[in-house]
Amino acid sequence: MGYGGKVWAQQRARELRAQAWTLAEIAAELGVSKSSVSLWVRDVEFVPKPRNRGHRSMKPHPLHLAKLAEIERCRQEGIERIGRLTEREFLVLGLALYAGEGAKTGTEVRFANSDPELIYVFLRWLRRFFDIDESKLRLSLYLHQHLDLEAANEFWSELTAIPVSHFYKPYRAVADPSIRRTKHEYGCPAVRYGSAAVLRSVMGMVAAVTSPSALPG
């Protein structure tokens, strides 16, 4: 079904996740891949189902439920306040993302981030505002050794519409528990497009939107 998917499927996935369905259960119910479900519901908070350990399960704490309600309220307010971006707003959004996470030198456009939504938005932006040769799009992946490379490749290929055959050899890092305990299940990808001309164009516009003269008075 792809990242875009059908609106109803994405919304239904979010509803089921809020009811504490597992990713596998949602995928089976909707007939979609687990990687798609993971992307659609990644920001949905929920109260995990209690495991059956032979004793009475505890009810969710009222403060936790209040937190979930507040998060959902803010999400809805954000959607209503922002609405649909104009072409100009979308252009500036992509430039802001690249200013923060993109490569500034070299001969290729390169954007790295572990957040699937930001990778998706960046590629939508790149394909919309520049004449892109799809055969030149590449992806390199940073993934800890104990994580599933095949699943990660499938996830990022589905999200980006870049075939796995266009992926560079991944960097398999050895996790250091003294630094961090949490790991990104699908790693951190870098989308790469070899074009010095496109990079110069991007950086020219980044300079324009970050200039003091571009700011509101």
DSSP 8-24: HHHHHHHHHHHTT--HH
Return left, alpha or beta for 74; rule: phi > 0 is left, psi -120 to 50 is alpha, else beta: alpha
Please state, in angstroms and rounded to a whole number, the distance separating the CA atoms of residues 119 and 125: 10
Domain residue extents for the chain: 7-82, 87-214
Q: What is the pLDDT along the chain (217 residues), one digit of tens a residue?
A: 444 445 678 878 888 888 888 888 888 888 888 878 888 888 787 777 665 544 455 566 778 778 878 888 898 899 899 999 999 999 999 999 999 999 999 999 999 999 988 999 999 999 999 999 999 999 999 998 888 899 899 989 989 999 999 999 999 887 666 555 445 778 999 999 999 999 999 999 999 999 999 888 8
CATH of domain 87-214: 3.30.1330
The pair of three-digit structure tokens given for residue 123, joined into one six-digit string: 């590629």
List CB contacts of 118: < 8 A, sequence separation 6 or more.
Answer: 97, 101
DSSP state of 37: H
